[in-house]
Chain A
Amino acid sequence: MEALYLLLPISLVFVLLIGAAFWWAIFSGQFDNTDEAARSILQDDDSTAPRPADEPKPQSQVSDPSGARKE
């Protein structure tokens, strides 16, 4: 039963930690814009045509498997 004298102060510390975490979450914007994550999947760029800046990349990727096949 004497464990209670230790557990009670620990519970107080936990409450303070949880309160501080909740405080941080609100003021760092964790509760703002909750539907943005759901919407972002719809705003994804699904186009298959290679963009000019990406052109070198597919070529290098194609060369890799061919190299693997040789071995």
Chain B
Amino acid sequence: MAEPAFPGGYFGQALIVDVTDGTRRVLPIPPQVLREHLGGAGLGAWLLTELAPVGVDPLGADAPLCFVFSPLVGTPLTTSAKFAVVAKSPLTGMLTDALASSHFALAGKLTGHDAIVLVGRAEQPSVLFVQDADVHLEAAGELWGQPAAEAEAAVRARSGHRWQVAAIGTAGERGVAYATISHDGRHAGRGGLGAVMGSKQLKALAVRGSHKVAPADPAGVLAAAKDLRERSLGRATAKYRELGTMGNVLALNALSTLPTRNFQQAVFEGAQQLGAEELAQARGVTRSSCASCSIGCEHLYQGAGGKKVRMEHQSVSSLGSMCGVSDPDAVLAASARCDELGIDTISTGGTIAWAMECVERGLIDAPWLSFGDGGALLRAIEQIGDGTGLGPLLARGSRAAAAEVGQGSLEFAPQVKGLELPGYEPRTMQAMALGMAVNARGADHNRSGAYEADLSGDLDRLAGGQAHVTGAIESEDRAAVMDSMILCSFLRKVFDDPWVEWAALLSLVTGWDLTADELRATAQRIVLAKRAYNLREGWAPEDDWLPERFLTTTLTVGSGRTAALSPERLRAMVQGYWAARGLDATGRP
């Protein structure tokens, strides 16, 4: 029997479509590249490095936009129906990769490609259809100006429900630097991928496929899937199932780690009204889950007018506590509006919170924009969406906006590499502080979940040191593999020995004889591939750093202890990270 041309779970090729004229070509991906980068975020980093011209304008026609699948998608393994979107970020100028999930991942993979890469710029607003090897563009004039969900529904209504669609909202069309790409209510949220898609005049990508995913050991995969599904229903995922990530809000508030009023405080007095414990009782409507997922982390709440709104911890912290808004109606409405416009709630909330502080300090003349005012929050979001008032300034993200406003406002712009911080306070979570400082994507909680080290009890979260470096690296490595093979990160606690178990799962699917050690090396390779791309695009050592606010002001936790993160301590941790990654004293290979 002849050797298969490519490993199990793969098709060994990427489809590259020039949306300028709808032409296509196939890029073979060597098995060794697949083994070294797996798929998802890892393979996306490789594709971007290979296909993007050096120094490309993220919103230029030459900039590739990569939709990347993974070896596990299409198998019965729970939570594997996810895809990565990878591009050069208009927000950071560096690599960004964001994951979204559900049927688009399955349908995209079944086109027979491990990735679909878009380049060029359509002559008019368009929808790109990919069905197996067939590609065609259709004018989408009537869809331009619609929310992503409506555009998605319209494409499916017109073309058939077997098509799965990823679309942008109006923010992507307008080039908001943190616009998202959405599918079925989930969003590839961070770094402005929606703006990249919008710059190509592409409203939506629709996929449909007839290929089959062929694992190397189908029976073994089936047995593993059954086992994993059973484990996914246990205590390790109870939080997500019962409350969703909103279950974090009050817990993090109790630990002085909930960003409040643009990181001026870490305890929000209005948190109780926004916590899942209370909201679930008063407004919980239903749960939902992605395709092929047995966890079901999505919790929908009833907003004003009976509207069902998906809510996450990150949206509550960025639009709620960061902006000092405790009114659940306002926060739910703000989150829903971000979804409609197609903008990242974290960057939206962070940028508005920064602007609120600017107003407070007299640096921006917009007296209506004050902390705690839910109406002002909604007004600011509308302006970002329609480009009026402060919209053009805020649509660029807090770093670019601070560069324009000046007067020291960059010191409290809540961003790293241009990406706004998620809902974790770095002074009281110092492993996370390092994770956010050094991660290639910028301040991020998905590619670096170092908060786990901070909350493990194994180290002092207020006294960053070498143990925090170790914790941050382990977290980053695990995320690199989970985001590349792909399994949902909410599944991570069900694994007793993750490296060994992940190597076994991947071996069943691909036929490779993977070991935990090889997988660890793969993780490091993926992390460094992203850094290498950033370095090529102008990364400098000072980019692995936190805003001045975190290094010059302190917080007090409930016990009375002071949380301080000095520049010297952060420098030592960053240097420790670089050294442990095998980089030189300037963070370079």
Please determine whether chains A and B interact with each other in the same assembly: no
